[in-house]
Amino acid sequence: MGVSPARKIAFDVLRRVEAEGAYASDALHAELTARIKPADAALATELTMGVLRWRGLLDFLLERDSKKPIPRLDLAVALALRLGLYQLRFMERIPAHAAVHESVELVRRARKSSAAAFVNAILRRSAEKRQVPAAALIPLELPIAERLAVLYSHPLWLVQRWLARMGEAETVSLLEANNETPRLSCALNGETFREEVFKELSNAGLRIEPGRLLARAFSVSGGSPSHTDAFRNGRISIQDEASQAVPLLLGVAAGERVLDVCAAPGGKTATLARSAGEGGFVLAADVYAHRLHAAKKQFARLQLKNIALVAADAEKPLPFGGNFDRVLVDAPCSGTGTLARHPEIRWRLSPSQLETFPALQTTILRNASAQAAPGARILYSTCSMESEENEQVVASVVESAGPHEPLLRLADAKEARAALAPFLAPGVDAAIFFDEMGAFRTLPHRDRTDGFFAALLVKMK
């Protein structure tokens, strides 16, 4: 018996993530075409994302049984072990013999037959302890940060940061949320066809649940909405609810000129364009031309014609004339608010990057602000949980404006709340998403969305 299609896909995607730096969601999307059976697609996705989320714990347990550091093993061997142990630990419906056998076959498929006996022995040993809780296998004498890092499979340095800032209870809640499978959230791109779209999705076998934050948001399960006519015809988009909410905070009005300086892949740009309407105009800029090409395809699918795309580096002064009514800066960041959706980030990020991101973000925000007209609104946002990338960036720009820099101030907190309020789901209070300084924030463990930060600024001159 060979290797199942789902395990082949998961193994190949995980190898791309590790060896090529690919993002798991992108690599899976490329593999999970319409020809893949839905059951195989679901299993491949669970295996891939599960191994990435729980890699830290899996490696700890594997090293405990093998007495060998996992990073020193051949990559194919390490991946086969992780896939096997994930199935043993987290997928009770899969028989132990199947998990072990197919992992051994994956090693052979990767032309590492010499390691087959080793993989077989380690996974059989692990299978004997399948029912023993992981917490019982972690030494009790470990300091709390190290214990949480292993038990919840996060880098130690990140756990230490969060413990110092949030305390143990909230840190544990965040760690738990990061290890949950996130909802597949969608946006309805109009109200007139709501019932028609939901009926179509249901007929395609998808289960629909209402949004938790936004009235036009909903989540689906049981299949991929990207394979439906509703998606192909631009009536729906796939986008996390927090990401859907961010561009709404700008309060773009019909006929306004809008600049989006870090636009790709274009989900937020599309919202800005719909708000600006046919009489308005959105300039979508991004440093990566290939990402703008993907955004262009999305705008065509959504039938949006009031968007111009320009390859431009916002780290440098921008040549757009400085007369925009609204500016969005969805800055590149660490992505610590998206660890449930992009679990590979937790193993790539380093403390040193949190020292370099703020300088980049500050430069981009200043250059973008220079393109805003007097009185214009500028929205700075990230999908980071870290204050260095959020409040501190905003504070540095507001407080350090020199004579040749645009003078900025924080907008009245009521303005962003009022802009968001009409779009919220029934019973949702806009106030819960705003802090004392008036900044917008979503939290994975509170809102079951990605973690986003956004601050609305006003250009004074």
The string of pLDDT tens digits covering residues 36-84 is: 998 999 999 999 999 999 999 999 999 999 999 999 999 999 999 999 9
- Which positions ≥6 away from 436 have C-beta within 8 Å? none
Neighbours of 358 (CB within 10 A): 19
pLDDT of residue 337: 98
Q: What number does CATH give the domain 5-137?
A: 1.10.940.10
pLDDT at 402: 60
Q: What is the pLDDT of residue 407?
A: 82
Share of the chain above pLDDT 70, in %: 98
pLDDT given for residue 322 in this prediction: 83
Question: What does the pLDDT read at residue 63?
Answer: 96
CB atoms within 10 A of CB 254: 10
Q: What pTM value is reported for the model?
A: 0.94
Chosen CATH of 241-459 out of 3.40.190.10, 3.40.50.740, 3.40.50.150, 3.50.50.60? 3.40.50.150
| Over residues 233-247, mean pLDDT | 97
For 452, residues 6+ apart whose C-beta sits below 8 A from its C-beta are 242, 243, 245, 246, 337, 381, 382, 383, 440, 441, 442
pLDDT at 321 over 80: yes
Residues 250 and 272: their CA atoms lie apart, in Å, by 8
Euclidean distance between CA atoms 440 and 290, whole angstroms: 31
Tens-digit pLDDT profile for residues 83-114: 999 999 999 999 999 999 999 999 999 999 99
What pLDDT digit, counting tens, does each position of 7-16 carry? 999 999 999 9
Q: Give the bridge partners for 381, in sequence order.
A: 330, 454
Q: What tokens appear for 260 in the block?
A: 């989006």
CA distance 132 to 82: 17
pLDDT digits (tens, 9 = 90+) for 416-454: 999 999 999 999 999 999 998 899 999 999 999 999 999
pLDDT of residue 432: 95
According to CATH, what is the number of the domain 185-238?
3.30.70.1170
Provide the residue ranges of all domains of the chain, joining segments of one domain with +: 5-137, 142-179, 185-238, 241-459
pLDDT at 164: 97
Closest CA to 283 of 303, 310, 302: 310
Residue 262: band (very low, low, confident or very high) from pLDDT cuts 50, 70, 90: very high
Q: Please give the mean pLDDT across all residues of the chain.
A: 95
With a cut of 60, say whether residue 174 has pLDDT above it.
Answer: yes
Q: Is the dihedral of CA 139, 151, 118, 98 positive or negative?
A: positive
313-347: burial string, b at 16+ Cβ within 10 Å, e else? ebeeebebebebbbbbbbbbbbbbbbbbbbbbbbe
pLDDT digits (tens, 9 = 90+) for 328-361: 999 999 999 999 999 999 999 999 999 999 999 9
Model confidence band, residue 406 (pLDDT cutoffs 50, 70, 90): low
**Per the omega criterion (within 30 degrees of 0), is the bond before 317 cis?**
no
Using a CB cutoff of 8 Å and minimum separation of 24, what contacts does 91-99 make?
A: 91/46, 91/50, 96/127, 96/130, 99/123, 99/127
Question: H-helix or E-strand containing 408?
Answer: strand 408-410
Q: 132 falls in which pLDDT band (50, 70, 90)?
A: very high
The pLDDT of residue 401 is above 70: no
Task: Give yes or no for residue 236 having a pLDDT over 60.
Answer: yes
